[in-house]
Amino acid sequence: MTRPPRPVLVIGSLNMDLVATCDRLPAPGETVAGTGFAALPGGKGANQAVAAARLGARVFMAGCVGVDSFGAGLRAGLTAAGVDTTQLAEVPGPTGTALIAVDAAGANQIVVVPGANAATGPALIDRALAAIPGPGILLVQHEIPPASVAHALRAGRAAGWFVLLNPAPARPVPAGLLPAIDLIAPNETEAAALLGRPLRSAEDAAAGARALVAAGARAALITLGAAGAVYADADSLHMQPPVPVRPLDTTGAGDAFLGALASVLAAGGRIVQAMGYAAATAALSTTRPGAQASLPTRGDVEAFTSSTGIDRQPV
């Protein structure tokens, strides 16, 4: 008998992204003329939840929004994508925002203002873990307070969830937390911050992934943007080649990768098997503008993988 898919619980941030496009990004102290503006739903937590839900996973979002129009819009967007928002709390003050500049080549600069995300605390996390029929895949990021991240990782591990940490934005992960993490998944910038050294090549990234495992994480996956990704655990190393596309906007590509990875793990797939599917999902997302608006459906990815030769979802 085939085991039913496990739930995906995302504990993390919800932001309204205020996006300005421009021909090139400004240098410090410089003003450049913009070519467009949009207010788009975002936040790493919400992005990853939407990414997994659009790919067919059963997703629950736990976090906080303000009692304002941005919060109402973010909740509505999650619901429309198929994400369960019963563990989403409204708190006094503004909803989180992100100020994003995107240049003509798709590169971006981002400033995040936490707002209501700062209220995501242990009580909310414990309620969500108790309310959702698990264990399943627990996906956490760094856009909520460090103490709340630590509590989520430890509580998820104690309850038997597969614990996936995306340590973004970059900040240290205490060594004592690493054994609570089944998979730590930074990008190359975040991995460099964790390791205290730059990653200048795929070989550096492979050594970095192995170092994170040696430090206590059960496995590590470092995404390298247009260079692909590398995975290591105690017994193996895997290099995932990139999926070539012409990017329009790279905002949310990492979230697309992680949402896709979580969806495959929830369905019973293995990490290495899932990496090609996740890479294709992330690549496809960069051909569209915005964060959540760029996240593809399962049908979109299946059509794209057929045309590129990337393996389909391996479950």
Indicate which residue of 84, 255, 300, 311 is catalytic.
255
What is the pLDDT of the chain when averaged over all its residues?
A: 93
For 2-19, how does the pLDDT look when each residue is reduced to its tens digit (9 = 90+)?
A: 567 999 999 999 999 898
Residue 108: the pLDDT is 84
Separation of first and last alpha carbons in the chain: 14
pLDDT computed for residue 2 by the predictor: 57
What CATH number did the domain enclosing 276 receive?
Answer: 3.40.1190.20
| Residues 152, 30: Cα–Cα separation, whole Å | 40
Please report whether residue 56 resides in a domain: yes
Would you state the pLDDT for residue 315?
Answer: 46
Q: What is the pLDDT of residues 135-185, one digit of tens each?
A: 999 999 999 999 999 999 999 999 999 999 999 999 999 999 999 999 999
**Residue 70 forms part of a structural domain:** yes
**In terms of Cα–Cα distance, which of 133, 169, 166 is closest to 11?**
166
Q: Cβ neighbours of residue 140 under 8 Å, at least 6 residues apart?
A: 10, 11, 12, 149, 152, 153, 156, 163, 164, 165, 166
pLDDT in tens, 261-300: 999 999 999 999 899 999 999 999 999 877 788 899 999 9
Q: What's the domain count of the chain?
A: 1
Q: So what's the pLDDT on residue 1?
A: 38
Percentage, residues of the chain above pLDDT 70:
97
In this structure, is residue 51 part of a structural domain? yes
165 within a domain of the structure (yes/no): yes
In a domain, 137, yes or no: yes
Instruction: Say what the pLDDT of residue 309 is.
Output: 66
Is 29 part of any domain? no
What pTM did the predictor assign?
0.91
255 catalytic per annotation: yes
Decide if pLDDT at 204 tops 80. yes
> Letter for the amino acid at 83?
V
**Whether pLDDT at 310 is above 70:** no
The reply to whether 280 falls in a domain is yes
Q: What is the pLDDT of residues 44-55, one digit of tens each?
A: 999 999 999 999
For residue 3, tell me if it sits in a domain: no
Q: What is the pLDDT of residues 180-201, one digit of tens each?
A: 999 999 999 999 999 999 999 9
Question: pLDDT tens, 22-62?
Answer: 999 999 999 999 999 989 899 999 999 999 999 999 999 99
Residue pLDDT, tens place only, 67-76: 999 999 999 9
Q: How confident is the model at residue 249 (pLDDT cuts 50, 70, 90)?
A: confident
Model pLDDT, residue 100: 87
Q: What is the pLDDT of residue 47?
A: 96
Q: Which domain holds residue 217?
A: 8-15+42-96+114-308
C-alpha to C-alpha distance for 219 and 45, rounded to whole angstroms: 21
- As a whole number of angstroms, the distance between CA 286 and CA 298 comes to 16
241 has a pLDDT exceeding 50: yes
Closest CA relative to residue 133, chosen from 315, 5, 269, 261? 5
pLDDT of residue 307: 76
